[in-house]
Amino acid sequence: MPDKIAYTVQDILRLVRERGLTVRFPPPGDPDWALSHAAFLGAQRDGADHRFMLEVFRRRFRDGLDLGDEGVIADAARAAGLDPAAVLGAAHSEELRAEAAAGWRRAVERDRIFGVPSFVYAGKLYWGQDRIYFLRSAIVRKSGAAR
């Protein structure tokens, strides 16, 4: 596993350089994912899931911050135009934490998700950032949209 992580970091740095982006890797170890996932579900109920998701991703991958930190979640909520106290309330909601865990179990069982990033479109799994091209192609084909 350490070799896979080292390779993934190397690959991400190649992609970042190619696209002229910057990335800061989060601290080693996993955050309390239940916190950010339940917060997302709370933002979703308020119709702000996309805005909140983008702010959370910025903090994780642009700023290298820990999504298990309440201050990071509150800051993302504020930047997304949400009430930080309400989002933190959702983050600690046992109901939303259980919903997030059930969603992950469903994704593993139904969609055969085994890692991130994973995308499911039209019943097909696309795993890894290098498969986004194929996902986009499938969406374009199905929608009949021009490239």
pTM of the predicted protein model: 0.76
Among candidate residues 5, 55, 33, 50, the one with its CA nearest the CA of residue 103: 33
* Rounded Cα gap, residues 44 and 100, in angstroms: 12
Computed over every residue of the chain, the mean pLDDT equals 90
Confidence band (pLDDT; 50, 70, 90) for 12? confident
In the chain, the domains with their CATH numbers are 2-111 (3.40.30.10), 112-147 (no CATH)
Residues 65-76 have pLDDT tens digits of: 999 999 999 999
Contact present, 66 and 74 (Cβ < 8 Å): no
Structure-block tokens of residue 15: 């992609």
Confidence band (pLDDT; 50, 70, 90) for 110? very high
Pick the more confident residue, 25 or 142.
Answer: 142
- Reply yes or no: is the peptide bond before residue 27 cis, omega within 30 of 0: no
What is the arithmetic mean of pLDDT over 94-115? Answer: 93
